[in-house]
């Protein structure tokens, strides 16, 4: 898979797993709100994440924490577009845009974004805007020929058969993408830990992550500092590094091609150690 000007071996048999570093340019994200919402601070943090081993930088301009307030399209664009332009100008690393709004995506792609990371898996317009045709965000992905990360999400937790329903929802996202003209090789799937799921469901899905491989697409695991870890360990968001690392190790073992994290260095080291053990085991 090519993201920006970089090649990613998402079909590797040696447990290769890439790190997507989180850059929230928001005042209110649950874990790091207000830390990186100036160009100078954002640039400093991007440089640090690259030094620590990030393979992709994921830029988000609106918090998606539980109970967050939706901001205007213009405000979100004003937050993310200059940051994306700065990263593309000053660094040689792919950039993803974390948004579900077509107008924001359009401006982010014009600014140089290389990947669309959509927490609604191209289904926001279907649920909330009564879109009967192909969502515009999917059309933009096809038009710009960029990879997409389609996350599992839904308006409620009304599951009949939990794992099968998640797989069915993700297949719906894939079908929307393919119908719009997105190439199959440009699709990544995210199980959506923390979205439309309680603690038990988050733990179950993390433990059964390999079942997403049935759909035939590389998987991104995004658990960093989330409530699943906080509730399991009874810890605040700034003390969840070890819990995040545990989920990253599980992700590598179950075939995740990407992890999206705040703490790049620690998770990168955990990935490399896990790969060393698993690849040595294959030689026995």
Distance CA 132, CA 30 (A): 33
How many other CB atoms are there within 10 angstroms of residue 185's CB atom?
12
Which residues are CB-neighbours of 39 under 8 A, at least 6 positions away? 82, 83, 86
Q: In b/e form, how buried is each residue of 1-13, taking b as 16+ CB within 10 angstroms?
A: bebbeeebebeee
Task: Name the residues annotated as catalytic.
Answer: 226, 260
Question: Cα separation of 54 and 201, whole Å?
Answer: 29
Cα–Cα distances in Å, from 176 out to 52, 97, 188?
Answer: 36, 19, 13
* CA torsion through residues 60, 53, 8, 19, sign: negative
CA angle 118, 155, 125 (to 5 degrees): 50
CA dist 181 and 9 (Å) reads: 23
With contact defined as beta carbons under 8 Å apart, do 258 and 51 qualify?
no
Q: How many CB atoms lie within 10 A of CB 215?
A: 15
The strand pair at 2-3 and 6-7 is best described as antiparallel
Say if residue 78 is exposed, middle or buried (CB neighbours under 10 Å; 0-12, 13-18, 19+): middle
The C-alpha atoms of residue 32 and residue 11 are separated, in whole angstroms, by: 33
């Amino acid at each position: 898979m090519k993201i920006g000007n970089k090649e990613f071996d998402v079909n590797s048999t040696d447990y290769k797993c890439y790190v997507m570093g989180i850059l929230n340019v928001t005042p209110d994200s649950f874990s790091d709100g207000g830390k990186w919402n100036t160009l100078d601070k954002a640039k400093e943090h991007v440089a640090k994440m690259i030094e620590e081993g990030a393979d992709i930088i994921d830029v988000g301009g609106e918090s998606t924490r539980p109970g967050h307030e939706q901001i205007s399209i213009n405000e979100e664009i004003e937050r993310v577009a200059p940051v994306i332009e700065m990263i593309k100008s000053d660094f040689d690393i792919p950039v993803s845009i974390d948004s579900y709004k077509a107008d924001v995506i359009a401006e982010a792609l014009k600014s140089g974004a290389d990947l669309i990371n959509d927490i609604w898996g191209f289904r926001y317009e279907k649920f909330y805007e009564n879109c009967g045709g192909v969502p515009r965000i999917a059309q933009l992905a096809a038009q710009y020929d960029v990879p997409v990360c389609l996350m599992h999400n839904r308006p409620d937790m009304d599951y009949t058969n939990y794992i099968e329903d998640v797989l069915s929802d993700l297949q719906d996202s894939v079908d929307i993408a393919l119908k719009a003209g997105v190439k199959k090789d440009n699709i990544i799937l995210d199980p959506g830990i923390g979205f439309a799921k309680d603690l038990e469901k988050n733990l179950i899905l993390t433990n059964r992550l390999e079942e997403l491989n049935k759909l035939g697409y590389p998987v991104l695991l995004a658990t960093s500092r989330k409530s699943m870890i906080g509730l399991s360990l009874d810890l605040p968001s700034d003390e969840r590094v070890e819990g995040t690392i545990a989920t990253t190790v599980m992700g590598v073992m179950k075939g995740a091609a990407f992890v999206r994290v705040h703490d790049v260095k620690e998770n990168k080291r955990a990935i490399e150690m896990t790969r060393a053990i698993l690849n040595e085991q294959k030689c026995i």
